[in-house]
Structure 1
């Protein structure tokens, strides 16, 4: 999943038109825009804003997973396309996403996969259309670019979580149903099972600095988020709870990206910090390497804010569905966070 090749060009979007509203859509008191929750039988759109899939079977599995959740599926016109490593040209992929937001029968949009390339779409998205037709948008990894840009331009709460071709295991299905169908005020707490170990080792959280903090969530994949630095596609970090994850990045690159967030002033503005999983982020061969512990000590501890690592967020089989823009309270000592207000409107 090489994300270091995508474009980070920043082009200002046009003025946002007033919200006309769709089923259940509403603007929350603190400036968020909320999409309606889902019902069994609703239509969801499958789109491929980033990399292409390797085999057509992956598209079939994504469709079957949505249908097994009790939803109807409408595929984007180019969701199975290919242009180099991308799932079609920028115009085709952006066109599919805009079309899904404009289609009144589609109630949610699920990204087929991440990979690379979503940032190339940001100048091509119709943010006025999105604001007029707020819908659930679900995906993670490279989809962080869409979460950041759409929230910055419209205030819409979107959702960092499983992609269509990912694992729809019992944990992920439970998250989906509780959040989108039941509209539950979620409590995000890692599941822990000791197995045959004397003490649990799996899904452990570590407190970096204790305490509680409240704020709206912002974040996603560290590489993708840092690549948007200096553009108009990042929301304001002031008072936010920053959550991050990554995959396949050596510690020296993680250090560089945290340095970017520090130099742009983002870290100094946040109220709390949650780090998920950094899969395959081990030091390579060479003279030596910083550890992730040292990186957090250098960049996060001086902020003197509540912070913990190990949340079930990232390139892992079982993962939280995290509302980008949702207001939460985090408890760094317990390694948990919970929704303080609905992130979906009544349908």
Structure 2
């Protein structure tokens, strides 16, 4: 099942199928009134739990890599019980995956949680998560791509900060290690600026940022993968967009689909509420053969430029070799002229 086929089934599953699988109601305030709760700092030589909430891994090597990466960072790895489970393309049943995540949050020996990988399927478990338990045991959770569903739900339903960054099985290169150390160990209020041009480049072509609308603004950071985020439209698992800084990225989506998803955000009123906008990388998002296509530049000009808010594109966010580790839910200042994001508060309690 590919990503688009899966997303078409989400509304049907959320409407009824999960109800027979042990879903329970959670009585928490909406994200408009829920006080933001920050996780405790990650202690030195602490334990990082690894969970697979989305697609299954067919390769034991991914588990070995994830464990070795965590140990190389100086921490102990604790694998969720069902991490190698499989049901179709998913990493086990919805109940298994949700149970693993709930268990890692409730486990006092676990100090942080890394998601093993993305893919698809995280949205299916959102009704099965215990948000009261998660809020009471707030700890850092990190991942990206399909983990966008978790970032938004954790903020909307539990009011906790989470981290959009490499998955446990990602390429943990020196840039990611430095980002991790700055964010989690030194707890810096980080300034996110693209890398300068490479030594063999005359200009910065690899990490170029482009201003859509100039200006500077501060707001709460929300967002993630565009496809996954828009699949949550109309649900209770999206946070309030009012005054937010919205960041987006995607991969393997033709421009007409990017157009359709931004149209969804416009029609649901989200774009008219945000205070700032940043678009990261869109890997393999070129037009295919056929009648022709709007370009990404034209699409952003149609939807973002008329908003008149500070906005830029090209940030190091997405399915790329080096990406920022972003604290979702915290106050961030966006400078569209410089192409930067700056934390205005700590991400930890």
Bin the TM-score by the shorter chain: over 0.9
The structural deviation recorded for 1:53 is 1.2
Say whether residues 1:306 and 2:310 are aligned partners. Answer: yes
Q: Which residue is 1:265 aligned to? A: 269
Which whole-Å deviations, capped at 9, do the CAs of 1:233-280 have from their partners, x for residues lacking one? 000000000000000000000000000000000000000000000001
Q: Which residue is 1:112 aligned to? A: 116
Say whether residues 1:49 and 2:71 are aligned partners. Answer: no
* Contact 1:16–1:131, Cα closer than 8 Å, also in 2: no
Change (3 A) 1:80 1:12: closer
Q: For 2:288, which of 258, 262, 284 is the aligned residue?
A: 284
Q: For 1:59, which of 49, 63, 70 is the aligned residue?
A: 63
The structural deviation recorded for 1:12 is 8.3
Change (3 A) 1:294 1:12: farther
User: What stretches of structure 1 move > 6 A for 4+ residues in a row?
Assistant: none
The structural deviation recorded for 1:193 is 2.0
Over aligned residue pairs, what C-alpha RMSD do you find?
Answer: 1.6
The structural deviation recorded for 1:90 is 0.4
The structural deviation recorded for 1:30 is 9.0
Q: Matched residues in 1 for 2:58 and 2:321: separation?
A: 19
Q: Matched residues in 2 for 1:253 and 1:70: separation?
A: 42
Change (3 A) 1:30 1:227: closer
Q: Matched residues in 2 for 1:142 and 1:265: separation?
A: 23
Aligned residues: 334
The structural deviation recorded for 1:14 is 1.4
The structural deviation recorded for 1:13 is 3.9
Q: Which residue is 2:227 aligned to? A: 223
Structural mapping, 1:1-347, within 5 Å: 2-4=2-4, 5-6=6-7, 7-8=10-11, 9=14, 13-16=25-28, 31-345=35-349
The structural deviation recorded for 1:196 is 2.4
The structural deviation recorded for 1:16 is 3.5
The structural deviation recorded for 1:144 is 0.3
The SS at the match of 2:104 is: helix
Q: Matched residues in 2 for 1:149 and 1:258: separation?
A: 20
**Structure 1 residue runs without a partner (length 5+):** 18-28
Q: Matched residues in 2 for 1:200 and 1:256: separation?
A: 31
The structural deviation recorded for 1:201 is 0.7
**Structure 2 residue runs without a partner (length 5+):** 16-22
Q: Which residue is 2:20 aligned to? A: none
Change (3 A) 1:13 1:306: farther
**TM superposition score normalised by structure 1:** 0.94
The SS at the match of 1:230 is: coil
Which whole-Å deviations, capped at 9, do the CAs of 1:98-142 have from their partners, x for residues lacking one? 000010110101000000000000000000100110010000000
The SS at the match of 2:334 is: strand
Q: Matched residues in 1 for 2:235 and 2:133: separation?
A: 21
Change (3 A) 1:321 1:13: farther
**TM superposition score normalised by structure 2:** 0.93
* Contact 1:208–1:306, Cα closer than 8 Å, also in 2: yes
Which whole-Å deviations, capped at 9, do the CAs of 1:117-172 have from their partners, x for residues lacking one? 00000000000100110010000000000000110011100000000000110000
* Contact 2:245–2:274, Cα closer than 8 Å, also in 1: yes
- 102-111 or 193-202, which deviates more: 193-202
The SS at the match of 1:269 is: coil
* Contact 2:47–2:76, Cα closer than 8 Å, also in 1: yes
Q: Matched residues in 1 for 2:201 and 2:182: separation?
A: 31
